[in-house]
Amino acid sequence: MPIRVENDLPARAALESENIFMMGENRAQTQRIRPLEIVILNLMPIKPDYETQLLRALSNTPLQINITYLTLSTHESKHTPSSHINKFYTTYDQIYKRYFDGMIITGAPVEHMKFEEVSYWSEIETIMNWTKTHVTSTLYVCWGALAGIYYHFGIPKIQLDKKLSGVYIHRVLDRCDPLVRGFDDLFTAPHSRYSGVSKEEVMKNPELQILAESDEAGIYLVKSLDERHVFLFGHPEYDRMSLDEEYRRDVKKGIPIAPPEHYYENDDPEMTPILSWRAHANMLYTNWLNFYVYQVTPYNLGIEE
């Protein structure tokens, strides 16, 4: 929760310069508090596992959060029981008149396909267009980030020579941005993808800013300057064993693939993976909720008539 600070307290200027989560006494006296409404479009194959990962990452805030899970009406999940989908998920047609404080659009196992070749791309476009008017800030993760930056800003994805899988060192490029508040200069984060985007193409767009990148994995965190769109090209919410499970699944399928890089102790797949990114992941999702959602969302979200 934000710290309430008197308007003329000398420490206020220093706190503001450090992006400390705070508010002035005038706002504190008039502020009304309600739960944040977050909608998650979960495109991951095994939805219950990813639900756990995301909720863990979102839980590190005292803000109360109501979660709405969204599924696609034009696609049937093959790896999650329909009973789970029917019980916990809703569709766009059931929520499109509602407004949400935040939205998360996850990754999806369709990276080898062009966006327009994905069977449910039209519905994804409809949802991303809807976010412009009905969501305060949207966080796009992995394939979701590739799709979002392509749809909103026309930046195409680039197919990589091989799968980018592992835990990589990243560097913060703008310490003044609240989204990276509290980050160390260098931090680690997992990646698991076959595609990326050109740093040069992102830098040419005046509406976008790169906040963090990796020498090995490329750009990691990008935002639109209006802060309505945040593109996260890694998977900081992954569990300790997520990359291991993906690697062994691919090996079992006969896919020629190297073990995830910088992940296992001594780079030995028979050793337990080292968990080195949890603190950064918690901070990233908390910063997004606190600064890009909670601080700017209207109190009355409303509903279309």
Q: Which residues are catalytic, by number?
A: 142, 235, 237
| Alpha helical stretches, state H, the chain | 11-17, 25-30, 47-58, 82-88, 92-95, 121-134, 143-153, 199-204, 242-252, 278-287
AA letter at 142: C
Look at the alpha carbons of 190, 107, 205, 99 in this order and tell me if their dihedral is positive or negative.
negative
Q: How far is CA 163 from the centre of its chain?
A: 20
DSSP 234: S
Report d(CA 41, CA 92) in Å as an integer.
10
Report d(CA 293, CA 178) in Å as an integer.
12
**Three-state SS letters, 116-146:** HHCCCHHHHHHHHHHHHHHEEEEEEECHHHH
Residue whose tokens read 């409809």:
126
| Alpha helical stretches, state H, 120-239 | 121-134, 143-153, 199-204
Report d(CA 245, CA 251) in Å as an integer.
10
